[in-house]
Amino acid sequence: MYVLYSTLLGAALFLSLPYWIYQMLRHGKYHTGLFQRLGRVPPHLSRSSQPTVWMHAVSVGEVLAVSGLVDQLRVRLPGYRMVISTTTDTGQQLARDRFGADNVFYFPIDLGFAIRPYLDTLRPQLIVIAETEFWPNFLRLASRTGAHIAVVNARISDRSWRGYQRLRWWLRTVIANVDLFLAQTQEDSNRLVDIGAPKSRIEVTGNLKFDLKPTQPPTVIANLRDSFRATGAAPILVCGSTADDEEERMLLQAFQNILASYPHATMILAPRHPERFAAVATLLESLGIHFLRRSLWSGEPLSGGVLLLDTIGELSAIYGLADIAFVGGSLVPKGGHNIIEPARHGVAIVVGNHTENFRDIIGLFQSHDAVRVVGPAELPLVLMELISNEAERTALGQRAAETLRSQSGASEKTVAALQKLLAPAPAAIAAGQKG
């Protein structure tokens, strides 16, 4: 099956080559790190005398999730080298900012010729995979080296579960290479068992994203806050991780309704994918809405208009400026996105009714009356209601922050579980003997 899988994957990559070339030329995607993905180990990952922990985080969300975990492991495992791989360019950029460029690289494609050079160079004692990335060849080859493999913050979405069930007969063999699964919820644990993971290797440790600490806000936050105060811009509506033109059109139409009653209202609109920034700018122009791009903003008044957030890594802090936060991918059937970032700021949160990918988190917040879930028809009415009712808006945000605080502790449980997989590093042992 591995031979068949590799053959099919190689054929698929070859046949889709025109698509990848188009994406590189048209959107600039996948070009950066191409040779790393194909197995060329970058010089900064040259062999080290220290034992290595390899952390893999696909994109921005996973990088954020493991940030605290990496920090704690560096403290708890002082004799180990920590390296981090990502799949997406946005994840790579954030990981370099968070962990240092010398410790970060692109994850290789799932073919032996690309994987083996990394395993030979890094010789990892522990490989930690964020959420659920079951790459068959990678897991098999990594396990053969003797490395321990753990999947942390593991979750199985509704869509993934359906796909995994169809491949359960083979997936059982693939995930047998994983030593430890640390699941977000009991439901995720049950689904892991259903697709073939041994129950004895699964622990429920909670969601790492609940433990994220606010980062130092970028300078732009202070500049925006000063601009809003100077120009009387209010209320502030932050719409983050929006998914497509249909969703953004509905949000902008709702914003136009708000402007009729609150002419100084301001929207900060943050599309999920950077390659859509230009398309969203075109949509704003077609609707006749005054807007400025964040990358070009130099202090101009934003009252009564839209700031198009066409930058990476600022949305989390910008949620702190909001009177109301809308978290996108949810007015359209995209499965939604995580609401933890605005909750951390105690902001009133609104989402659409397509939140399947985050059903447990949304359900938790709903049980504490800490989020508003709306359909397209209800969206303008709920936004206007929250804008006009400051007491309810404030209380909704406070309940969100309290709900978030009640779920902390996943990082500590995860670190403790990972430490059990490792012997103390030689440097740590030597230090202990000297002491």
Query: Active-site residues: which are they?
Result: 62
- Report the distance separating Cα 111 and Cα 3, nearest Å: 10
Give yes or no for a cis peptide into 214 (omega within 30° of 0).
Answer: no
* DSSP code string of 29-62: -S-TTHHHHTT---GGG---SS-EEEEE--SHHH
Look at phi and psi of residue 37 and say left if phi exceeds 0, alpha if psi is from -120 to 50, else beta: alpha
DSSP type of residue 200: G
| Residue type at 128 in one-letter notation | V
Token pair for 303: 């009252």
Q: Any idea of the CA torsion for 12, 17, 22, 23, to the nearest 10 degrees?
A: 50
Helical residues (DSSP H) of 238-301, grouped into ranges? 245-261, 277-286
Q: Are strands 81-86 and 180-183 parallel, antiparallel or unpaired?
A: unpaired
